[in-house]
Chain A
Amino acid sequence: GAGVSQSPRYKVAKRGQDVALRCDPISGHVSLFWYQQALGQGPEFLTYFQNEAQLDKSGLPSDRFFAERPEGSVSTLKIQRTQQEDSAVYLCASSLLGGSAYEQYFGPGTRLTVT
């Protein structure tokens, strides 16, 4: 079946531009996560949705980062006024239900380069 998809796969933005990254989770998955992965590091948690409710946004590094999942399926991570330190791979993951018992399925990520 279809896995988690993300678009675009690669994005180059000039410093100061706004970007929007899209995640299509596995159909029917309740939980959706965003992670940020810097080069050579493990992924770091950004935010978590259960259906359309954003239950945890403790990992968002600044108020320039905003995520939404208005209908409980597709999610968008928006970064305003991008900075060079925002350059990273942004990973989306979904899981069937809420609760830590369920494995997370990851998409291939969006590589963002801010020049």
Chain B
Amino acid sequence: DAKTTQPNSMESNEEEPVHLPCNHSTISGTDYIHWYRQLPSQGPEYVIHGLTSNVNNRMASLAIAEDRKSSTLILHRATLRDAAVYYCILRDLTQGGSEKLVFGKGTKLTVNP
């Protein structure tokens, strides 16, 4: 599985936008970029995923670099409930691609009131 690199931690203020970066310089053409987050004492939850184009959903936006070697998860207005560890994960969605999620250490986001 291709590797991703994320900062260990980031800090934000409530109601401000947050940009969480992820580097994946060895990404292959069939790798989708997925983001999950894990709130304290809970299991991870899916946030968003994309291939080449930027994506938006009710939780966040995903901006993908043109060369696909990096991406950024954008929380438009951070709330205290967004404090979590955010994981950037590559998933090969071709037939026979591995089903499992390969987590790194993620980025621990702290949101200040």
Contacts of B44 in A (CB 8 A): 43, 91, 93, 104, 106
CA–CA, A111 and B99, complex, Å:
24
> Does B91 have its Cβ within 8 Å of any Cβ on chain A?
yes
Our pick among B85, B92, B100 for the contact of A48 (Cβ within 8 Å) is B100
Does B98 lie within 8 Å of A104, measured CB to CB?
no
Our pick among B43, B49, B105 for the contact of A91 (Cβ within 8 Å) is B43
> Number of B residues whose C-beta is below 8 Å from A?
24
Q: Which of B41, B43, B105, B106: most chain A CB closer than 10 A?
A: B43
> Does A103 have its Cβ within 8 Å of any Cβ on chain B?
yes
Taking Cβ atoms with an 8 Å cutoff, the residues of B that contact A are 32, 34, 41-46, 49, 85, 87, 91-93, 97-106
28 A–B pairs (Cβ distance < 8 Å), ordered by A: A31-B99, A33-B99, A35-B103, A42-B87, A42-B103, A43-B103, A45-B100, A45-B101, A48-B100, A55-B99, A56-B100, A59-B100, A91-B43, A91-B44, A93-B43, A98-B99, A99-B99, A100-B32, A100-B92, A100-B98, A103-B34, A103-B46, A103-B49, A105-B45, A106-B42, A106-B43, A108-B42, A109-B43
> Number of A residues whose C-beta is below 8 Å from B?
27
